[in-house]
Structure 1
Amino acid sequence: MLKEWKLKEIVLMSIFGVVFAFIYLGFYFFGQGLRNILTPFGLAPFGYEVIFGIWFIVSIIAAYVIRKKGAAFWSELIAGIVQVLIGSPAGPQLIISAAIQGLGAEAAFAATKWKNYSLTVLVAAGMSAAVFSYAWGWFQSGLAALTPGLIIATLLVRIVSGALLAGVLGKWISDQLAATGVLRGYALGKERQKKRVRKAS
């Protein structure tokens, strides 16, 4: 899958994975804090759900910037592995979770044959990652023990979080990076350059 990649694309994807591994770990503790705050109100299950989309964001950013098959999956997997190496309380099973989330995001891009990276597709990728991760959590995190109402509510919140924090925010961050010129050697940067040339002509 990586045979069609340039070395600089693999390096950038790896950098994204490492950087977001630290961000993800920080949000793990932030989510725990939210959970503790919401517990007295009977809303503890939503502590992580409202921010769950942040754990898909590297897959969106890597795919949107590099635009190669596997970018969403591999970047998410790298982030998961690095989190385990730096001591995530979630433990080694986090690698499986990361792989499943990456596959979820990758599925949306695969549906377009990796040719469409519009905001709609990026949002769909975030939502797909949310559904895949929830399905895994059903078995791994005990989500099946929730009441039917909470299952529906937490799933919907996770999907919205995936759409906004992964899809929308991921695109915004990527566009801001591209605007600085640091991504000019990658697919997103080249696309922006072509648009500038067309506007100037």
Structure 2
Amino acid sequence: MKNWKMREIVVMSVISVVFAVIYLLSTHASNIAAGFFGRMSYEPIYGIWFIVSVIAAYIIQKPGAALVSEIIAAFVECLLGNPSGPMVILIGIAQGIGAEAVFLATRWRIYTLPVLLLSGMGSSVTSFIYDLFVSGYSVLNPGLLTVMLLIRLVSGALLAGLLGKAISDALAYTGVLNGMALGKELKKKKKQVNQDAGI
């Protein structure tokens, strides 16, 4: 996190803590659903656990934002009493690596919607690999595994990528992110629009 400003670190930390609470609530809700409908019920909402990596990366636009934000969220979630205990930190690392890898592929220069969608899907892939080896998914039927992965990929794209962008853009339009990369980018766009309109 070299060359990070203190404000960026604070913003990322606050976002991570907020989503740690959301993650924990989602965990409890999904555990109840799984008790009634089985393991498959996790997959449609799995993307919600990747969203902080997309939001932090999109807002700050610096190397490490996706990975570190997921680790912070997982650590706080552990402290708040996640049923998985310290293992949730490993899960957070796996999820963060998937998202960070996509931004790495662009050299942390491109934060368009397709890239954000892919980052959510990247977390889907790495978290699924984690589940194969740690959560016992490897014993499941290959056909079922394929369906689960496809659902998780869609969930990652929509709940992390698309929703993450929507939340970030909404925050940027309020002006609270003016000091962040996303806020500065929005100000430039507004200025350009005004110039084009002759204002």
Is the TM value for this pair above 0.5? yes
Instruction: Give the superposition deviation at 1:45.
Output: 2.2
Helix, strand or coil: the match of 1:91?
coil
Match of 1:77 among 67, 71, 75: 71
Amino acid at match of 2:2: K
Q: 1:186: which partner in 2?
A: 180
Q: 1:41: which partner in 2?
A: none
Match of 1:113 among 73, 98, 107: 107
What RMSD over aligned residues (CA atoms) do the two structures have, in Å? Answer: 0.7
- Inter-partner Cα distance in structure 1 for 2:80 and 2:28: 14
Q: 1:145: which partner in 2?
A: 139
Q: 2:10: which partner in 1?
A: 11
Asked if the contact 1:84–1:95 (Cα under 8 Å) also holds between the matched residues in 2, the reply is: yes
Instruction: Give the superposition deviation at 1:64.
Output: 0.2
- Inter-partner Cα distance in structure 1 for 2:29 and 2:152: 16
Instruction: Give the superposition deviation at 1:80.
Output: 0.4
User: Matches of residues 18-167 of structure 1 in structure 2 within 5 Å?
Assistant: 18-38=17-37, 44-167=38-161
Match of 1:171 among 148, 165, 168: 165
Instruction: Give the superposition deviation at 1:160.
Output: 0.6
Helix, strand or coil: the match of 2:85?
coil
The number of residue pairs the alignment matches comes to: 195
Q: TM-score, normalised by structure 2?
A: 0.96
Instruction: Give the superposition deviation at 1:148.
Output: 1.0
- Inter-partner Cα distance in structure 2 for 1:162 and 1:3: 29
Q: How many percent of aligned residue pairs carry the same amino acid?
A: 52
Helix, strand or coil: the match of 1:114?
coil
Instruction: Give the superposition deviation at 1:53.
Output: 0.3
Instruction: Give the superposition deviation at 1:4.
Output: 1.1
Instruction: Give the superposition deviation at 1:100.
Output: 1.0
Q: TM-score, normalised by structure 1?
A: 0.95
- Inter-partner Cα distance in structure 2 for 1:111 and 1:130: 17
Asked if the contact 1:60–1:125 (Cα under 8 Å) also holds between the matched residues in 2, the reply is: yes
Helix, strand or coil: the match of 1:50?
helix
Asked if the contact 1:53–1:130 (Cα under 8 Å) also holds between the matched residues in 2, the reply is: yes
Tell me, which stretches of 5 or more residues in structure 1 are unaligned?
Answer: 39-43
- Inter-partner Cα distance in structure 1 for 2:116 and 2:32: 29
Aligned structure 1 segments of 4 or more residues deviating by more than 4 angstroms:
none
Instruction: Give the superposition deviation at 1:195.
Output: 0.4
- Inter-partner Cα distance in structure 2 for 1:10 and 1:54: 22
Instruction: Give the superposition deviation at 1:169.
Output: 0.3
Deviations 1:146-167 (A, max 9, x none): 1111100101111110000000
